[in-house]
Structure 1
Amino acid sequence: MATDYDAPRKTDEEISEDSIEALKTRRNDKNSGKVDEDEVEAAESFELPGADLSHEELTVRVLPKQSDEFTCAGCFLVRHRSQIAEHRGNDEYCYDCAG
């Protein structure tokens, strides 16, 4: 940034007065931190290309539980048996959820 060495310099007192005055004007401006737009209304107005999936049909093939996996009682993710970190009663917990 270029500095104009010929310009009159402000004292520390003048600098602090300027910043106090700036703060006062910002405080008096009631609408400085407000946003008029409602986020929910704005999100509902967005139209994404290809977003109409009403004619689509979802087909999911569910596999039976495998002998080498378990469902974590904390995060409910299906994980490999090597990820069992803790048993609490009949519940098994992975390393991420144990603790």
Structure 2
Amino acid sequence: MATDYDAPRRNETDDLAEDSLDELKARRNEAQSSVVDVDESDTAESFELPGADLSGEELTVKVLPKQADEFTCASCFLVHHRSRLAETHGNQLICRDCAA
């Protein structure tokens, strides 16, 4: 945008005084319409994957208790096999992922 440096300066109060009420309302509506408040949980429910009709499906998962050769990481709280044990701090066991 070109600026005419020879023109007399105007301050904001002069600009606001010359603007009509309709122009101010239009600017306010334009500014408000560009902001959209979207809840992320609502948008995730609206996505449908092609060919993924799970309406008649019943998903069952068998949950096993922690086995003798497994431990719960004190940092990430995931159950890992003993081979993933990196370090211990007293009674707290830390997996390799959290120790790195």
Give the TM-score of the pair, scaled to structure 1: 0.47
Tell me which protein shows more helix as a share of its residues: 2
* Alignment TM-score, normalising by the size of structure 2: 0.46
